[in-house]
């Protein structure tokens, strides 16, 4: 093989290495957990995942799989100094939904990524109780928390829209 014949594969290998390194850097900068991707809804094309036992649904931005563990990942395009309550409940909902959809895997935590920071949200018994309490509250006729927005899109993307009586969108069952 002549020099040109050797240089070409080396150049290809170098370009691939550069692309790979840039992808790894990008994943790190977005705090995406390591592992194999088993679900993604970044382009809004992921199927709706449902917890039939709780009557809630959701579409995490991404779900990674590593060993026996799966890790939900949610990206928010705003800054935050700490996780916002609504986003925490969204992640708690994902834990319950994913446990039903991936019964053989365990979920220790999820990653909530804001523009300026990333947070690990743990799948604890206490957080499950918080989720169950808010679901109960939404189902109570007299004690429902008042909706604090008029954003239909927010309701459309909400994991609790199936059970929320204040949802701004008509539910299709
Ligand atoms: S469905 Fe709408 S009003 Fe109800 S909890 Fe979700 S975002 Fe709030």
Q: Do 123 and 59 belong together in one domain?
A: yes
Q: Do 69 and 22 belong together in one domain?
A: no
Ligand 1 centroid–CA 23 distance in Å is: 36
Q: What is the CATH number of the domain that holds 104?
A: 3.40.1350
Ligand 1 centroid–CA 40 distance in Å is: 23
Q: Do 94 and 73 belong together in one domain?
A: yes
Structural domain including 10 reads 1-30
Beta strands 118-122 and 62-66, pairing class:
unpaired
Q: Is residue 141 part of a domain?
A: yes
Q: Dihedral through CA 73, CA 74, CA 79, CA 82, nearest 10?
A: -70
Instruction: Give pLDDT, residue 16.
Output: 82
Q: Is residue 134 part of a domain?
A: yes
Backbone angles phi, psi at 83, to 5 degrees: -60, 135
Buried b (16+ CB within 10 A) or exposed e, 69-89: ebbbbbbeeeeeeebeeebbb
Ligand 1 centroid–CA 169 distance in Å is: 9
Instruction: Give pLDDT, residue 173.
Output: 42
The pick from 54, 154, 157, 165 for probing ligand 1's pocket by mutation, whose C-beta has the most ligand atoms within 8 angstroms, reads: 154
Q: Give the number of domains in the chain.
A: 2
Ligand 1 centroid–CA 81 distance in Å is: 23
Q: Do 121 and 144 belong together in one domain?
A: yes
Q: Do 8 and 48 belong together in one domain?
A: no
Q: Is residue 71 part of a domain?
A: yes
Q: Which atom of ligand 1 is nearest to the CA of 164?
A: 4
Pocket of ligand 1 (CB under 6 A): 147, 154-155, 158, 160-161, 164, 166-167
**Residuewise pLDDT in 10s, the chain (173 residues):** 666 677 777 888 888 888 777 777 777 778 999 999 999 998 788 999 999 999 999 999 999 999 999 999 999 999 999 999 999 999 999 999 999 999 999 999 999 999 999 999 999 999 999 999 999 988 875 555 578 899 999 998 899 988 888 889 865 44
Smallest CA-to-CA distance from 88 within 111, 106, 69 is with: 111
Distances in Å between the Cα of 119 and the Cα atoms of 2, 37, 87 are 53, 19, 11
Q: Do 64 and 143 belong together in one domain?
A: yes
Q: Is residue 169 part of a domain?
A: no
Instruction: Give pLDDT, residue 27.
Output: 77
Q: Is residue 165 part of a domain?
A: no
Q: Do 9 and 64 belong together in one domain?
A: no
**pTM of the predicted protein model:** 0.82
CA–CA distance, 173 with 171 (Å, rounded to integer): 6
């Amino acid at each position: 093989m002549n020099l040109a014949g050797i240089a070409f594969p080396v150049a290809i290998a170098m370009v691939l290495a550069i692309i790979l390194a840039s992808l790894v850097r990008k994943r790190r900068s977005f705090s995406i957990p390591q592992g194999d991707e088993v679900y993604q809804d970044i382009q809004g094309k992921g199927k709706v995942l449902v917890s039939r036992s709780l009557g809630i649904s959701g579409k995490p931005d991404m779900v990674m799989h590593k060993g026996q563990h799966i890790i939900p990942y949610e990206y928010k395009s705003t800054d935050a100094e700490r996780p916002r309550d609504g986003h925490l409940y969204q992640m708690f909902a994902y834990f319950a939904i994913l446990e039903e959809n991936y019964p053989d895997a365990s979920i220790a935590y999820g990653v909530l990524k804001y523009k300026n920071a990333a947070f690990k949200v743990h799948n604890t018994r206490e957080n499950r109780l918080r989720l169950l309490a808010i679901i109960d509250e939404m189902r109570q006729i007299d004690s429902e928390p008042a909706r604090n927005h008029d954003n239909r899109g927010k309701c459309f993307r909400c994991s609790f829209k199936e059970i929320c009586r204040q949802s701004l969108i008509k539910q299709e069952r």
